[in-house]
Every structure is written in structure tokens, then in C-alpha cells.
Amino acid sequence: MRHLVKDPDWWRGAVIYQIYPRSFQDSNGDGVGDLLGIVRRLPYIASLGVDAIWISPFFTSPMKDFGYDVSDYCDVDPMFGSLADFDAVVETAHGFGVKVMIDLVLSHTSDQHPWFAESRKSNDNPKSDWYVWADARPDGTPPNNWLSIFGGSAWRWDGGRMQYYMHNFLASQPDLNFHEPKVQAALLDVARFWLERGVDGFRLDTINFYTCDAELRDNPALPPEERNATIAPAVNPYNWQNHLYDKNRPETLDFLRKLRAVMNPYQAAAVGELGDAQRGPELIGEYTAGDDLMQMCYGFELLSGTQPTASRIAEVLELYENSAPDGWITWAFSNHDVVRHVSRWNLTAPAARGFATLMMFLHGSACIYQGEELGLPEANVAFEDLQDPYGIEFWPEFKGRDGCRTPMVWERDNANAGFSTAHRTWLPVASEHIGQAVAAAEDDPAALLHHYRRAIAFRHAHPALRKGVIGDLRAEGNVITFTRTLGAEKVFFALNMGEDPVTLAPPEGNWVPAGPELNSAQPGVDGNLHLAHWQPCIMLSTGERG
């Protein structure tokens, strides 16, 4: 019998640990991580204090995009194990009090999915309209100007149907037609299948790509000054369009309401990946508003390449507070699609600790990516070792996503750093990571790993940090300050995000210092707060006024 969650709002303020299964732990020596490898490492994950894991796709797939091209939504690819192995993941995780979220890729399938195999046979078969098909223009060119994130046109010609099909990503990832009710019904059945197996929620890949314009209208051009590389590399002309018609369509919200209705009896939660360079915060507000859409979404503002300053952090927080006042954001600094933030922002060790602390005080939920807690930098993967088609397409200006996907490092003195006993792993183990392996970090009291544990524990100990509102948000110079409040509990937080020490006056009211385990600054004899570089100050209100 499924274990029922006592708190239906468990997701509010939750800390989620993302697992990229190909690179987490190999249990059978074939050089690829798998589900039983996750089972083996769940005690470590539980020791971090996280609330849930998010497992990137493990479904049956030809692996053209490493599992994000699904050919069977309701089975496990033999590379990762079996359904019984997945059941073991759920049972073991739940035994540790850790919830399980899985990555559902609903916007598209693999071109090897049986649905597509039937759809492409003709324009009058039972699944002929399960994908986005369109006639060519009179001159034979694609039906409109839509572009693929992975490069080139978003349309691929099919000589059998004598039509184009749409693909927002690889040509081997045809987009499903969400205007067809039978497609929606089939995808809702997929969600039910995994909910019945005990999953606690979903990470929804490319949630704003589900529906395209039924009229297939051209996207307008963006003026050069409005282009940015928030969700696609700067060398990609995808950034040159305002994507009004190939994604972000209002019809998507109708499907999400149906999905939420399926999830509610299971007290399941979903976090959507919402990628849009122009309207991200606004769309997150739309997708998470009320109680009948998705619980959470994450944007890309803090997954960008420029190290955030105090003023930028304050700007982003205020942007979301204004754009999504009734919504819920999930914060992430790293994931399987971007350069690891230690490298992306060129962080020193104190800065890495500072950002880890900051994340656990932000209003919303938090997602950390495997190895982030070790402070792993981006790995340097040689061109001949690249696996990512995105990187191969845009090399060398953009090197793809393999540098953040190399195998997890567990041990210092073991073959492949304890990840695998194979002679060759699917991506090379990064030699620069081995000194930061879990075993090395466990033996070093000053390691970032222990700081993550302390920060997560502090978050759990204070309900205001999980579910409270944010207020008194300010950025002055290199210092960001704000409060988090829930009921009678009020937490003050300040962080010096600069390299030089700063002095600031304490907040008004009666406060007691907290967080010494996080190196929180204490009031000086002069009554002021003296923060060293990247040092936080944490205080709790006594509830009294002076």
C-alpha cells in the first residue's frame, strides 16, 4: 500500500536532490549508472537531509538525447535496470523518508516510439494527428519560420506522409500534438502509471513547450538589443525570435489542470522546467497560480552565466515576487543542462559556501544537482569524448552539456573514483574531480559537503525558511538583506557577497544571533554587524519590540 504523505504541502520549501542516473552510480560494471546504483547511494543522499530526489529520465529510449527521447513511457530502459529496480528505489527512498520525483518528458517522444511509427504511416490512420504535422509551402520549404533549440529549422520532412513534422529539439524528437484529446488522455495515463508505482511527484521537462499555435503562425523577430542567451547559447539563432507561437500557448494551462487533478489524490507535486528568455517570471506566475495548476516551476535567471551580485539577486527575487505573487519558484544554481555554477561564476571556496547558504534562505523550494554539494567544477571533456549532440553541433563556441554530466566521484583511490568497475565509462571520470570525492569530503571538516548539510538542517529547523514570506528585501553595495516570516517566527538574513569586509547596522527590533554553525556574524561590541567576505548574518526575532 502506498505511504500517504501527512502534509500535502510537503513540497513548499522542500530541498530536492537531482540525480542524473547515467552518471550517479554503476552497479553492474557496464560503465553507465543505473537504478540499483541509486539504491546503493540512497544512504548518502538521506544523510544530506534532503526532502526528495528528482531522477532524470530512465525510460526506454534510443538515447539520442540520453533518455529525453522516450520510446516507452511505462518501462525502464535495460541500461538502467527494470521496473523491479525502480520499485526498489521507491521503497528504499521512502524508508529513509525521502520522496521520489521522476522526470516526465511529455512535450515530445522519440521517433522510435510506437505512436510515431503509426502516425507517420499516413494522414488518416488512428494516430495520424498525434504529432504536429503540416504541409510544405508551395515552394517546398517548411510551413513557418520556427527554429529548433538544437539548431536549424524546427521542421523535418517525412517522405512517407509527404509532410513536415515539428521538433523543438532533435529531429529524432517529434513534438506531440496537444490539440488532440487522445494525446492528452494517453499522457495522463502515463502519470497515473507512475503514481500507482509510488512516485511522489514529477519534474516536467520543457513544460511551456507542450502546445503550439494551431494556426502555425510565424514567430516575429526580436530586435538585436532584446536577444539574450538565457536558455540557448549565444551562437544559436533561436535567440533571434520572439517565441509567441511555437510555445507558451494558453492551451497548455488546460492540460496542466487535468494533470493536477490526476495528481491530487496521490498528494503528488510537480516542478516544471519553464524556459523562456523574455517572459519567464511572468509565465511561472501563470503556471503555478492558484491550486489547480502546477505547484512549482523553475526559471533560468540564476542558471545564467554571469555571477549574480547582491543587486541582481534582489532584482530577481523582487521580479518573482511581483510576477508570481501567488506562485512558487524552485531555485537552482546548477543542473544537467548548464555549466556547473562553481565554474560558471568562477567561485572561490568562501563564495561557494555563501551561495549554498543563500539558497537555503530563499523564498521557494531548492534544487541541488549531484556533485554540487562537493563543489565540483565543470569537467573538461575532449571533443573526441563528447556524447551530447548539442555540444557536437555548436562546438567549439558552445561545448554542450557533457562537462556537467561526467560521473559522480565517490572514492579517491578506486577505479573510476568508485563510480564504476568498467574499463571505460560512458563519459570519462574527470581527473580534476577525484580530490573532491565524497570520501575525501567526509574526512575534511572544512569541506563544502558538511556546509550543505548544516545549511539544509538549519532550513528544516525553521518553518519560516520553508514556507514563510520574504520581506524587507534590500541590496546595499555587496550586501543583500531580507527577512523570512511565518506566524510568530521571523528570521533576518544578510550576506556579504563581496570580497571586502563590511559593517552594517542591525535590523530594528529585538533579535538574537543564530546560525553559528553557518559562520554567522555576531554583533560587535559597538552593536554593529561586521561581515567578512562572503559571510552571512542570521538572527531570530524575539517577538518583542524595544
What's the pLDDT at 261?
A: 98
Beta-carbon contacts of residue 408 (< 8 Å; ≥ 6 apart): 23, 24, 25, 33, 370, 371, 417, 419, 438
Mean pLDDT throughout 129-144? Answer: 98
At residue 306 the predicted structure's pLDDT band, cuts being 50, 70 and 90, is confident
Cα–Cα dist 428/407, whole Å: 7
- What is the average pLDDT across 501-512? 94
Cα four-point dihedral sign 65, 252, 229, 353: negative
Is the model's pLDDT at 230 over the cut of 70?
yes
C-alpha torsion sign, points 161, 162, 168, 170: positive
Please determine, for residue 546, whether its predicted confidence score (pLDDT) is greater than 60. no
CA distances from 386 to 8, 25, 64, 393 (A): 42, 20, 13, 11
Query: Which pTM was predicted?
Result: 0.96
The answer to whether 10 touches 466, Cβ cutoff 8 Å, is no
307 compared with 521, residue with greater pLDDT = 521
* Per-residue model confidence (pLDDT) at position 238: 96
- Using omega within 30 degrees of 0 as the cis cutoff, is the peptide bond preceding 523 cis? no
Q: Which of these is catalytic: 51, 65, 69, 273? A: 273
- The predicted structure's pLDDT at residue 260: 98
Residue pair 166/130 in contact (Cβ under 8 Å)? The answer is no
- Rounded average pLDDT over 380-386: 95
Is it the case that residue 221 has pLDDT exceeding 90? yes
Rounded-to-integer distance, Cα 201 and Cα 191, Å = 9
Indicate which residue of 205, 213, 286, 388 is catalytic. Answer: 205
Average pLDDT over the chain reads 95
Q: What is the mean pLDDT of residues 45-57?
A: 98
- Phi and psi angles of residue 74, each rounded to the nearest 5 degrees, phi first: -115, 30
DSSP, residue by residue, 353-405: HHHHHHHTTSSSEEEEETTGGGTPPPP---GGG---HHHHHHTTT---SGGGT
Give 93's contacts (C-beta < 8 A, 6+ positions apart): 42, 45, 53, 99, 100
Q: Examine the residue annotation and report whether 273 is marked as an active-site residue of this protein.
A: yes
**pLDDT of 329-381, one tens digit each?**
999 999 999 999 999 999 999 999 999 999 999 999 999 999 999 999 999 99
Mean pLDDT on 301-326: 93
Give the pLDDT score at 233. 87
pLDDT reading at 496 higher than 60:
yes
Cell of 404: 556537467
Least confident of 114-118, 134-138, 393-397: 393-397
Q: Which of 265-269, 301-305, 469-473, 515-519 has the lowest mean pLDDT?
A: 301-305
Q: Is the pLDDT of residue 545 over 80?
A: no
- In angstroms, rounded to a whole number, what is the distance separating the alpha carbons of residues 168 and 372? 29
CB-side neighbour CA atoms (13 Å) of 21: 31
Compute the distance between CA of residue 244 and CA of residue 308 in angstroms, rounded to an integer: 28
| Percent of the chain whose predicted confidence (pLDDT) is above 70 | 98
Q: Which domains does the chain have, with CATH numbers?
A: 15-108+181-458 (3.20.20.80), 468-541 (2.60.40.1180)
Q: Is the pLDDT at 3 greater than 50, yes or no?
A: no
Question: For the range 429-435, what are the long-range contacts, defined as Cβ-Cβ under 8 Å and sequence gap of 24 or more?
Answer: 430/376, 430/379, 430/380, 430/406, 432/377, 432/379, 432/380, 433/371, 433/374, 433/376, 433/377, 433/379, 433/406, 433/409, 434/409
- From the list 52, 18, 17, 34, the residue with the least C-alpha distance to 419 is 34
Across 303-327, average pLDDT = 92
Residue pLDDT, tens place only, 59-108:
999 999 999 999 999 999 999 999 999 999 999 999 999 999 999 999 99
pLDDT over threshold 60, residue 430? yes
pLDDT band, residue 2 (cuts 50/70/90)? very low
- Summarize pLDDT for 168-185 with one digit per residue, the tens: 999 999 999 999 999 999
Enter the C-alpha cell of residue 333: 544554481
Which grid cell sits at 316? Answer: 530577481
- Is residue 11 within 8 A of residue 5, CB to CB? The reply is no
205 is annotated as an active-site residue: yes
> With 80 as the cut, is the pLDDT of residue 18 above it?
yes
Q: What is the per-residue burial (b if ≥16 Cβ within 10 Å, else e) of 338-364? A: bbbbbbbbebeeebbbbbbbbbbbbbb
Name the one residue in this structure whose C-alpha cell is 502555425: 216
What pLDDT score was predicted for residue 6?
63
